[in-house]
């Protein structure tokens, strides 16, 4: 039995997840390289970690988005949020290069503040399924705007938090770890948001 049209309540949930996620990406984008540098890593190791971050995000996106309709869109979004939370926790808890490399490769971290991971394609598929054709263009325009605004606010918050902590005498590395802990918390919050999606967002 195929689900009927998704209730409109799913639209604000998808917008909220987009804004929260892009806020978290912006939060990390300002401090990620500073965090690694403060942890004592040189340019080559930082470059290798950032490269594997992007390659891991690409591979993860390919696997999840190509199987989301079969495995369940909500389930795949929740899995992505869990990986995001784990990556943030790892960066907040350790400076071990091996563990950070693993977290960057299999986790979901955006070095640039742009959309990464499996979320975008799955959410856009759900939005397209829910909205009538005449409303999709406007909805996607607002969806993109919400993400861009959230990224900017996240970058401001990440830099502001690190700067405020350092002005109070907190060591730079500890201040960057606090930002990464915030990223992990955002992953948990994102998972909570995804639990609000109705079964009607699933593929027919």
Please report whether residue 2 resides in a domain. no
Q: Per residue of the chain (204 residues), what is the pLDDT tens digit? A: 444 444 467 889 999 999 999 999 999 999 999 999 999 999 999 999 999 888 888 888 888 888 888 899 999 999 999 999 999 999 999 999 999 988 888 888 888 778 877 888 899 888 888 888 888 899 999 999 999 999 999 999 999 999 999 999 999 999 999 999 999 999 999 999 999 998 888 887
Cβ atoms within 10 Å of 52's Cβ, excluding its own: 16
Please report whether residue 78 resides in a domain. yes
* Distance (Å) of CA 156 to CA 88, 149, 162: 18, 11, 10
Please report whether residue 80 resides in a domain. yes
Domain of 51: which CATH number? 1.20.1250.20
Please report whether residue 204 resides in a domain. no
Please report whether residue 145 resides in a domain. yes
Q: For residue 88, what are the domain limits?
A: 10-197
| C-alpha to C-alpha distance for 194 and 81, rounded to whole angstroms | 9
Please report whether residue 87 resides in a domain. yes
């Amino acid at each position: 039995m195929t689900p009927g049209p998704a209730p409109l309540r799913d639209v604000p949930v998808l917008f909220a997840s987009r804004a929260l996620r892009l806020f978290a990406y912006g939060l990390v984008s300002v401090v990620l390289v500073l965090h690694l540098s403060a942890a004592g890593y040189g340019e080559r190791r930082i470059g290798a970690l950032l490269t594997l971050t992007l390659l891991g995000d690409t591979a993860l996106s390919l696997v999840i988005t190509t199987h989301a309709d079969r495995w369940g869109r909500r389930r795949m979004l929740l899995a992505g949020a869990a990986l995001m939370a784990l990556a943030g926790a790892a960066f907040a808890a350790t400076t071990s290069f091996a563990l950070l490399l693993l977290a960057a490769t299999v986790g979901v971290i955006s070095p640039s503040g742009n959309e990464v991971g499996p979320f975008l394609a799955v959410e856009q598929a759900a939005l397209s399924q829910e909205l009538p054709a005449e409303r999709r263009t406007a909805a996607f325009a607002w969806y993109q705007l919400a993400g861009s605004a959230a990224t900017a606010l996240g970058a401001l918050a990440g830099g502001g938090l690190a700067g405020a902590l350092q002005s109070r005498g907190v060591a730079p590395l500890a201040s960057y770890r606090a930002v990464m802990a915030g990223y992990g918390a955002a992953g948990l919050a994102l998972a909570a948001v995804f639990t609000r999606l109705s079964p009607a967002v699933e593929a027919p």
